[in-house]
Amino acid sequence: MRIKMVFSYDGSKFNGFQRQKSMPSIQGTIESALSNIYNTPITIKGAGRTDAGVHANNQVAHFNVEDLRPNLKEELNNLLRPSIYVKNIKKVDDDFHARKDAKKKEYVYKINLGPFQSSLNDYYYQPNYQLDVSLMKDASKVMLGTHDFHNFVAGFRDDYVSTIHSITITKTFQKLEITFVGVGFYRYMVRNLVGALLEVGKYKIDRNYIKKMLDNPDEELRLPTAPPQGLYLNKIWY
């Protein structure tokens, strides 16, 4: 029986999503809880591997069990809270795959432009400078559509092409949120896109430099990577 699970987590308490031998991970923690409940080893497959310090509001994973326990959600939350919270569990078709069946994803990056607040430090990026938000909005338009994002991705891949459907930048009082919706986001891709927009907001580069990075994927053009703590996997469509 295949089960689909939707859950949130505080990424500051883990060394990333992917299971690790000696460091706490989201995957390893959930697998341990499921294995304890079912008294047999259980492996979960997530929709994406978030980095250390990155959060999720609606991450998705699937796993296989012999039967769906009627109170499984409550049993898991008793073991996982407060750093991980299971929102929904349901039986799905046996061929459902949390990663391969995802149609698009939404990530949100949060920035505090006001005075530093220690309580926000794990959940917002808190730069000690102001940003030209209007320039950032204009530059974000260059990133829309289908591109080779090689200059915005860490590590080796066979294919760096993806499609970004929308980028929305909103400022409410001193809080800035940058929302990306796209087909798929590779390792460090969102954080590198945010890093580029931050450089624009600081007048270090302009939209034409971002266009050059996209148009010349074989030329090594790199910019600073935004810190992980402001990033949230917010939504996944199937």
Q: Which domains does the chain have, with CATH numbers?
A: 2-92 (3.30.70.580), 104-237 (3.30.70.660)
Query: pLDDT band at residue 21, thresholds of 50, 70 and 90?
Result: confident
Supply the pTM of this predicted model: 0.95
Q: How many CB atoms lie within 10 A of CB 83?
A: 15
Distance CA 229, CA 38 (A): 33
The mean pLDDT of the chain is 97
Between β-strands 231-237 and 104-112, what pairing exists: parallel, antiparallel or unpaired?
antiparallel
pLDDT at 199: 98
pLDDT digits (tens, 9 = 90+) for 107-166: 999 999 999 999 999 999 999 899 999 999 999 999 999 999 999 999 889 899 999 999
pLDDT digits (tens, 9 = 90+) for 151-163: 999 988 989 999 9
Residues serving a catalytic function are 51
Percent of the residues in the chain that have a pLDDT greater than 90, as a whole number: 96
Cβ-Cβ contacts under 8 Å for 130 (sequence gap 6 or more): 113
Between the two ends of the chain, the Cα-to-Cα distance in Å is 19
pLDDT at 24: 96
Distance CA 14, CA 11 (A): 5
pLDDT at 44: 98
Distance CA 12, CA 81 (A): 14
* Contact assessment for residue 75 and residue 15, using Cβ atoms and an 8 Å cutoff: no
For residue 85, is pLDDT > 90?
yes
pLDDT digits (tens, 9 = 90+) for 27-66: 999 999 999 999 999 999 999 999 999 999 999 999 999 9
